[in-house]
Every structure is written in structure tokens, then in C-alpha cells.
């Protein structure tokens, strides 16, 4: 990956690109979405040696690794607006057949406008799904949801390491919750006031999972967001 001025260029060996036409069509769809939260490339093509290049604008902001306090994490009040933007933006991408497959904190940027309002930008969408190194990923939507779950856990705790006393996958837990309570979840329209019954916290262990943030009151809303992501799989 090369960085020149306000642009970043990625180069993929021709042997790793399984379907250049599919890649090109997907990047064009990403452009056509015109959604500022989903960064689209400005240019892509083949080099003389048939390697593939993708050029994207540099994001004027900080990625999550730069804003999450080490060993402390963010408060739920700071994280929640970002989580809703990330999940809803990924849902839009998934509905168009665009996936990430390597979603990490340094792929998600937080940018501020002139009034200090924060919004997110997700980089790297639509490229990996056509690379040989990601060809074994069958459930692409769930792969992105699992990655987002890991990011949430890291953002709340400040620790990237998984802890043995928590679930292996936040997304699996929330998916199970949403499947069991799908009818109840679908009637919620105000994410900020969605509540989770205490007996379900005991059953699924969600209280342990989010104990660092005391975010129990919003778990039902997070489950809804993951249901949106996973329902497209």
C-alpha cells in the first residue's frame, strides 16, 4: 500500500484476484451508493503486469485505534452513536452485495464537521471478497458482524485480547438473542430506549459480556442491529 498526498494506493498481485470483473462491478456499486460513511475508491484498474490497483482518498480523521484509550476503553455514551452508524452503514453495504471481510479498528475512521459532530467512515469495502486469501469465507455478512462484535468488545474494554470468561463471539450471542426474540425486536423503532429483560441477561450471559460499560439497557438495540446484519446472510 502506497500513500501519496491525499490518496492511498493498494496493489494486489494478479494471482490473488479471483474475479477482476466482479471486483470492478462491486466497486462501481460502492461509488453509486454515494454514502459518505462507506468510502468508495476514486479509481481502479490493471497495471501493465496485470496486477490490480485501487486508489482511495485519504480520510481526514482518526481511526478507532487512535481514539480508544488503552486498557480503559470508551464509555457507552461515546461509543453508542458510532456503533449505530457503523452497523447501519454496513447493513446498507450488505444489501448491495458489498462486504469487508477484514474489518478492524483501523478501517473505521471518526471524522468531525465544523460543529464537532462526529461521523464514521469505513474504508476497504468491496475489495477482499474477490481475493483468493478470503475465498474460504462462506458467510460474508456474519464475518463482518463477528468482526464488528470484536471491535465493540475492544472499544468498551481497551483490550484486544479475548477473555476466557466471555463469549467467543458477541455476534453469535446477539444473533441467538435476536432469533429467539425476533418478533419483539422488530417492533422497536426507538433504539435509544430499547430495553432487555433481566431474565434474558441471565440466560445468555449478556450482563457479563458488557459489564465493563454497564450497557445493559441498550443490548436489545444492539441485537436489532446485528439482526439486520445477519438477516442478509
* Burial degree of 65 (CB within 10 A; 0-12, 13-18, 19+): middle
The 10 Å Cβ neighbour count of residue 140 is 19
Give, as one character, the DSSP assignment of residue 131: B
Report whether pLDDT(49) > 90: yes
pTM beyond cutoff 0.85? no
Q: What is the pLDDT of residues 101-137, one digit of tens each?
A: 999 999 999 999 889 889 999 999 999 999 999 999 9
Spatial separation of the C-alpha atoms in residues 74 and 72, rounded to whole Å: 7
Q: What is the pLDDT of residues 66-97, one digit of tens each?
A: 999 888 888 877 888 888 899 889 989 999 99
Going from the N-terminus, what domains does the chain have, and what CATH number goes with each? 2-231 (1.10.510)
The rounded percent of the chain whose pLDDT value lies above 70 is: 67
C-alpha cell at 229: 446484519
Amino acid at each position: 500500500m502506497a500513500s501519496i498526498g491525499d490518496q492511498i494506493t493498494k496493489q494486489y498481485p494478479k494471482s490473488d484476484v479471483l474475479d477482476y470483473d466482479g471486483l470492478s462491478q462491486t466497486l462501481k456499486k460502492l461509488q453509486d451508493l454515494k454514502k459518505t460513511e462507506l468510502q468508495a475508491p476514486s479509481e481502479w484498474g490493471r497495471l501493465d503486469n496485470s496486477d490490480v490497483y485501487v486508489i482511495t482518498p485519504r480520510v481526514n480523521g482518526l481511526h478507532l485505534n487512535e481514539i480508544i484509550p488503552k486498557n480503559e476503553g470508551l464509555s457507552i455514551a461515546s461509543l453508542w452513536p458510532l456503533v449505530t452508524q457503523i452497523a447501519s452503514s454496513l447493513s446498507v453495504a450488505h444489501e448491495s452485495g458489498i462486504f469487508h471481510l477484514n474489518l478492524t479498528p483501523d478501517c473505521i475512521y471518526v471524522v468531525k464537521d465544523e460543529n464537532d459532530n462526529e461521523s464514521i467512515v469505513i474504508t476497504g469495502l468491496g475489495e477482499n471478497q474477490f481475493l483468493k486469501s478470503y475465498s474460504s469465507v462462506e458467510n460474508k455478512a456474519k464475518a463482518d458482524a463477528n468482526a464488528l462484535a470484536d471491535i465493540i468488545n475492544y472499544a468498551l474494554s481497551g483490550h484486544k485480547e479475548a477473555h476466557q470468561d466471555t463469549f467467543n463471539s458477541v455476534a453469535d450471542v446477539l444473533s441467538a438473542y435476536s432469533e429467539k426474540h425476533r418478533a419483539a425486536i422488530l417492533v422497536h423503532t426507538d433504539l435509544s430506549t430499547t430495553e432487555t429483560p433481566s431474565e434474558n441477561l441471565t440466560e445468555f450471559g449478556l450482563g457479563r459480556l458488557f459489564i465493563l460499560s454497564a450497557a445493559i439497557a441498550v443490548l436489545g438495540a444492539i441485537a436489532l442491529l446485528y439482526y439486520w446484519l445477519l438477516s442478509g446472510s
